[in-house]
A and B are shown apart, each in its own frame.
Chain A
Amino acid sequence: MTAVNERALKLGDDSLILGQRLSEWCGHAPMLEVDLALANIALDLIGQATLFLGRAGDPDALAFRRDVLDFKNCLLVEQPNGDFAQTIARLFLFSNWQELMLRGLSSSHEFGDIARKSVKEVAYHARYASEWVVRLGDGTDESRRRMIAGLDWMWRFTPELFDGEEASVRGEWDARIDSVLRDAGLDRPKDTRPILGGRNGHHSEHLGHLLAEMQFLQRAYPGATW
């Protein structure tokens, strides 16, 4: 596999898997407005996935007929939705990273066009999630407790984001995360042993379940269209 293909898969799979995760909220979110917002973000992400995976091959085949070991997404995006705060924690940590990463990618020869289009979408995702972190963290006792639990769950998967090409955005990401956490009155979670492996296809058990649902139709009825 060429380096460009590999990169396209990582970028595309991150967006695809998080898009699928967020779309699981459709019809279940606490408010109609939140339901729409999460579905909009999911659709943005799936659109990005289509573009990035298109640089590595047929995006539909890559999304629906690839086995779990061949997915290159980071472990963070495949983590379960949990409650709303856990979903927000994942989106907060990921979107802030993704925005910085895409900004750096904007001048790239291979992916610049996709990055420049996507970075505007992701800037909104980051803003949306960051505001919810403040609202929940600085809200009621229960919302604060849930926000802390959500961040604790997701935190150990963040070092993987900075493994390899994106090590350079670490400083700026830290500053952004710390600033939002300060506004929310939350402590930065303690660093624990980082969990890596997604980029090499070593995924948590959660991804298999996600793919089973996402790929069922194309696996059962190959080439089905409607």
Chain B
Amino acid sequence: MSKEWPLWEVFVRARNGLSHKHAGSVHAADARMALEAARDTYTRRMEGVSLWVVPSASITASDPSEAAALFEPASDKVYRHPTFYVIPDNVKNI
């Protein structure tokens, strides 16, 4: 067994109304300790109003070797952006 405590990913909500953003990671033995370490590491200069911690092992990441198949097909689909379309002058509220 590793002597290192497990790694936790830290997400900070900067202000009410914003979503939680990934801030970094901490080592901690349990969730409570992870929250406290996250508080002390990432919110000591008033960066946040709410914290999430998630065991890093619970995160499933995309495989970099599949990046071409996953992401490149989107690069020439300019019509998926709203800016591709011309809005008729007499359409309101858009």
Contact = CB atoms under 8 A, between A and B. Distances in A.
A32 B44 contact: no
B5 interface: yes
A149 interface: no
Contacts of B41: 33, 36
Given A40-B40, A128-B36, A33 B27 contact: yes
B44 A40 contact: yes
Interface in B1-50: 5, 26-30, 32-33, 36-37, 40-41, 44
Interface residues of A, number: 10
Contacts of A36: 37, 40-41, 44
Interface residues of B, number: 13
A213 B20 CA distance: 43
B40 A131 contact: no
B29 A131 contact: no
Contacts, number: 26
A37 B27 contact: no
Interface in B41-64: 41, 44
Given A31-B5, A33-B28, A135 B33 contact: yes
A131 B36 contact: yes
B40 A33 contact: yes
A37 B29 CA distance: 15
Interface in A98-116: none
Contacts of B40: 33, 36-37, 40
A131 B32 contact: yes
B36 A37 contact: yes
Given A128-B36, A131-B36, A135-B33, 10 more contacts: A33-B27, A33-B28, A33-B37, A33-B40, A36-B40, A36-B44, A37-B37, A131-B33, A135-B29, A135-B30
26 contacts: A31-B5, A31-B27, A32-B27, A33-B26, A33-B27, A33-B28, A33-B37, A33-B40, A33-B41, A34-B37, A36-B37, A36-B40, A36-B41, A36-B44, A37-B36, A37-B37, A37-B40, A40-B40, A40-B44, A128-B36, A131-B32, A131-B33, A131-B36, A135-B29, A135-B30, A135-B33
Interface of B: 5, 26-30, 32-33, 36-37, 40-41, 44
